[in-house]
Structure formats: structure tokens, C-alpha cells
């Protein structure tokens, strides 16, 4: 028997849903179109999930015509939405995906289960339950007030970091190594260059160093073009290869990565020390830890 399609408005879109065998199902294709993700790829992914329920249901549209539609139940929809990585879709669609993830399941529940919810609410509204809810609400309000104060304290620091990382200034690898040392991360220019080579920040091409495209796109690195020209022995002029510079955003990330690696190295070494093996030793103030 064909099921009548219910069109539910949501954030400027329409979610198509039907009732089948006592459960509500939503159209996978329509939601993929709304979110700007590939239907075929999402269908294949869901088919591989043991928790997913996918049904081909014969439906009747507003035009009175019958058609088969690929539908997923509310449980599958909730799990599927939670697994979509909003950062991998077009930037203009990210807010919509996040809105779906936060609200879609709740909206469908309220839309189709209002009567059941009302019955449940009445059953739970005992004096003890009300008192517990009020206590929880009071605690939440106190936590919200604490977070407001905390955000006010962190906002200037966050702005200062944004100002530092978003500036267009950049520096040579030598200057970056020097600044990292000033920030408590002792490293030589040669060590920094080797780290960047082994971690796919830069690569060697002939005698020059080049930046990987993803680091340029993320504004971690940039090229600096020389204003001077070189001269061959035969008198002809040539342009120098552009030099890889580290941006302030890149410097911030380098400091985080290097500091984390140093900490992990220290912890690994500490875990390898057995009882009775410890021998005190004096370190020179200028001791430099190797980079993993």
C-alpha cells in the first residue's frame, strides 16, 4: 500500500517523510539535496553501517502519483547526520548542516509525537520531578553566568591571538627558528627546516625549497619574491627562485606541534626509566632536545 508523503518545512527546506509499519521514515535523497552532499555516496556509506535502516517505500506525492523512494528511519537519520563532517562541504552550506545536526531529529519528534510527548510530560510532572528540574535549571543558570564571566576574560586573549595569526607579516625560516626559541621551543634553523621537510610543509626541488600547496592554502607558508635579479657568467640576467616564508599563523601552529612532540618525547623517556635506573644529571642551560 502506498504511503502519503508528509512535507515538513525546516530551515527553508522541505523534509519528505512517511509513516510505514508504525515508524516514521524520511527521504534520504531529499535531505542529501538539501545539504549539498552526494546521494549515491551517502547511500553506499549507510548500506555498510550495521545500525542503519534503509527501506524502499512506495509513496504517493501531492500530485497523486505513486513512486518508490529510498527512506531512512529516525534513528538512522540521527546517526547519519551526526557523522557528516561539515568542514568537508561548501562553506555556504555548513550552517545548514549544523542546523540539521542540532535540530532535525528533535523537530521530527515534536512534529510526529506531540501526543506521546504530552502523555509522557504529564506522567513525569510529579512534585519530586518538578523539584529536580528546578534544581537542575538553577544549576544551569549559575553555570551560564560563570561561562559569561569566563568568556569575558578570554575574549581579549582570543582577539590578541587572532590579531597575531591573521596579520600578513611573514618571516624567514631563520627568523622563525629564533622566535620559536624565544617562545620556549629551542630549535635551530637547520632542525626546523628538516622538521618541515619530514612533516610535508616544504620539499626540495633542485637547489630550492618549495611549499606544499595545502600549507600555502592554509596560510601557514607564503612565497617571497626577490626584487633583485641575478646575472649569469655570460652576462644574461635571471630571476631568483621565490623564498618560502613562515606566516604568523604558521609560526603559531609550528610552536604547538613542536611543543607537543617535545612533551611526548619527554613522557616516553620517563616511561622507559625503570626503578633503580634513575641517575641525577645536570643539564646545560643551552641543551637542545632533538626533534622526533
Task: Give a yes or no: residue 30 inside a domain.
Answer: yes
Same-domain status, 232 and 263 = yes
Measured distance CA(242)–CA(19) in Å, rounded: 63
Task: Report if residue 74 sits inside a domain.
Answer: yes
Note the pLDDT tens digit of each residue in 153-175: 777 655 655 554 554 578 899 98
Number of structural domains (the chain) is 3
Same domain? For 46 and 113 the reply is yes
Q: Is 6 left (phi over 0), alpha (psi -120 to 50) or beta?
A: beta
Fill in the DSSP letter of residue 5. Answer: P
Residues spanned by the domain of 18: 3-122
Residue 277 inside a domain? The answer is no
Question: pTM for this structure?
Answer: 0.37
Q: State how beta strands 54-60 and 3-4 pair.
A: parallel
First to last CA, the chain: 65
Q: Do 113 and 7 sit in the same domain of this protein?
A: yes
Backbone angle region of 21, left / alpha / beta, with phi > 0 → left and psi within -120 to 50 → alpha: left
For residue 287, being part of any structural domain is answered with no
Cα(86)–Cα(63) distance, integer angstroms: 34
- Angstrom distances, CA of residue 52 to CA of 28, 153, 210: 12, 44, 46
The verdict on 185 and 160 lying in the same domain is no
Q: What is the CATH number of the domain that holds 27?
A: 3.10.260
Query: What tens digit of pLDDT does each residue of 92-124 get?
Result: 888 878 877 776 556 556 655 555 555 555 555
- Kindly state whether residues 58 and 136 are assigned to the same domain: no
Amino acid at each position: 500500500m502506498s504511503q502519503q508523503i508528509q512535507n515538513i518545512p525546516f530551515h527553508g527546506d522541505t523534509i519528505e517523510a512517511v509513516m510505514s509499519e508504525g515508524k516514521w521514515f524520511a527521504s534520504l535523497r531529499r535531505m542529501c539535496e538539501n545539504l549539498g552532499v552526494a546521494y549515491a555516496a551517502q547511500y553506499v556509506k549507510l548500506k555498510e553501517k550495521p545500525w542503519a535502516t534503509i527501506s524502499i517505500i512506495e509513496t504517493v506525492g501531492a500530485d497523486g502519483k505513486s513512486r518508490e523512494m529510498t527512506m531512512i528511519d529516525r534513528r538512522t537519520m540521527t546517526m547519519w547526520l551526526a557523522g557528516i563532517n561539515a568542514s568537508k562541504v561548501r562553506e555556504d552550506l555548513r550552517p545548514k548542516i549544523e542546523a540539521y545536526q542540532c535540530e532535525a531529529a528533535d523537530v521530527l519528534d515534536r512534529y510526529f509525537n506531540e501526543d506521546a510527548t504530552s502523555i509522557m510530560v504529564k506522567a513525569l510532572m510529579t512534585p519530586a520531578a518538578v523539584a529536580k528540574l528546578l534544581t537542575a535549571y538553577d544549576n544551569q543558570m549559575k553555570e551560564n553566568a560563570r561561562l559569561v564571566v569566563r568568556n569575558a576574560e578570554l575574549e581579549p586573549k582570543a582577539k590578541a591571538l587572532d590579531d597575531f595569526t591573521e596579520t600578513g607579516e611573514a618571516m624567514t625560516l631563520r627568523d622563525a627558528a629564533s622566535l620559536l626559541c624565544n617562545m620556549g621551543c629551542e630549535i635551530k634553523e637547520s632542525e626546523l627546516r628538516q622538521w618541515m621537510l619530514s612533516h610535508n610543509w616544504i620539499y626540495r626541488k633542485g637547489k630550492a625549497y618549495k611549499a606544499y600547496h595545502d600549507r600555502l592554502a592554509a596560510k601557514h607558508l607564503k612565497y617571497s619574491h626577490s626584487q633583485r635579479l641575478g646575472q649569469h657568467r655570460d652576462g644574461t640576467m635571471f630571476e631568483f627562485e621565490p623564498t618560502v616564508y613562515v606566516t604568523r599563523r604558521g609560526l603559531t601552529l609550528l610552536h604547538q606541534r613542536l611543543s607537543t612532540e617535545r612533551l611526548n618525547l619527554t613522557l616516553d623517556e620517563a616511561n622507559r626509566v625503570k626503578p633503580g635506573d634513575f641517575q641525577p644529571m645536570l643539564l646545560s642551560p643551552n641543551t637542545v632536545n632533538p626533534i622526533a
